[in-house]
Chain A
Amino acid sequence: KAGVTQTPRYLIKTRGQQVTLSCSPISGHRSVSWYQQTPGQGLQFLFEYFSETQRNKGNFPGRFSGRQFSNSRSEMNVSTLELGDSALYLCASSRDGGPGELFFGEGSRLTVL
C-alpha cells in the first residue's frame, strides 16, 4: 500500500513568486493536513481538509491556502513568497472523519531566495 506522496520534494523560488505543493494521501484516507516545519518554530499546523472542506485552520496569513479534490488529493499554495517561508512542508493523512492516526509524507523542501 503506497504511503503519503508529496511533490515536488525540493524547490527553489524567489521572493514574490508563488508556489503550489501537492499531497496524495494513502488510499482510502479522507483527511489531509498540512504542517510547516522550521528550525526556529518547530512543526506548526497550517490547515486540515476532510471531504473537500477545510475543517481546521492554523494561525498563518492568508497567503497560505489549500484545497482538497474529490479523490482526496490536496494542494497548498503560498503566494507572494517571503524569505521566512523557507521550510519543510509536511502533509499528513488519516483515515476516518474523527481524529485518527497521522501518516506523514517525506515533505517538500522549499527554499526562498
Chain B
Amino acid sequence: KQEVTQIPAALSVPEGENLVLNCSFTDSAIYNLQWFRQDPGKGLTSLLLIQSSQREQTSGRLNASLDKSSGRSTLYIAASQPGDSATYLCAATTNAGKSTFGDGTTLTVKP
C-alpha cells in the first residue's frame, strides 16, 4: 500500500527566502507525481506534474524534482512571497490511476 509523507508539516519563513518542501513515497512504481496548492476552504490547484520518466519540472518560481529510486520529490520555491502562504500537497499516482496524497505542508510567508 502506497504511503506518502510530507515533511515538515508546517513551515514559517520571512518573505524573500528560498525554501524546499519534501514529499516521500514508499512504492516507487508510480506513473506520475503531482504538486498542489490549497488555500483554506478551497479546492486544490495543480502546480506541477512530473511524469515518472522525468527528473524535474519548472513553472515560474517553482521547481519540482523527482527521484523514483529513493522515493522522493521536492518542491523548491524561490523568493517566497506572502501570497505563497497556503498548504502544499503532493500526490503519487500509480499506473492504474489511483492517487495517494500526503497530509501537506502548511507554509506561512511573513511580510
Question: Which residues does A use to contact B, with CB under 8 Å?
Answer: 4, 6, 31, 33, 35, 42-43, 45, 48, 50, 55-56, 88, 90, 92, 98-107, 109
Question: Which residues does B use to contact A, with CB under 8 Å?
Answer: 31-32, 34, 36, 41-46, 49, 89, 91, 93-104
Q: Which residues of B contact A56 (CB under 8 A)?
A: 96-98
Q: Check B96 against A101 for contact (C-beta < 8 Å).
A: no
Q: A109 to B36, alpha carbons, bound, how many Å?
A: 19
Q: Check A99 against B43 for contact (C-beta < 8 Å).
A: no
CB contact under 8 A between A107 and B34, given known A42-B103, A43-B89, A56-B98: no
Pull 24 A–B residue pairs with CB atoms less than 8 Å apart, ordered by A.
A4-B43, A31-B97, A42-B102, A42-B104, A43-B89, A45-B98, A45-B100, A45-B101, A48-B98, A56-B97, A56-B98, A88-B41, A98-B97, A99-B95, A99-B99, A101-B46, A101-B49, A102-B44, A102-B91, A102-B93, A104-B36, A104-B43, A107-B42, A109-B41
Q: Which residues of A contact B36 (CB under 8 A)?
A: 104
Q: Check B43 against A90 for contact (C-beta < 8 Å).
A: yes
Q: Check A99 against B96 for contact (C-beta < 8 Å).
A: yes
* Shortest distance between the CB of B43 and any CB in chain A (Å): 4
Q: Which residues of A contact B103 (CB under 8 A)?
A: 42
Q: A18 to B89, alpha carbons, bound, how many Å?
A: 30
Q: Check A99 against B89 for contact (C-beta < 8 Å).
A: no
Residue among B43, B44, B49, B100 with most chain A CB within 10 A: B43
Q: Check A42 against B97 for contact (C-beta < 8 Å).
A: no
Q: Which residues of B contact A100 (CB under 8 A)?
A: 32
Q: Which residues of B contact A48 (CB under 8 A)?
A: 97-98
* Shortest distance between the CB of B83 and any CB in chain A (Å): 19
* Smallest Cβ-Cβ distance to B94: which chain A residue: A99
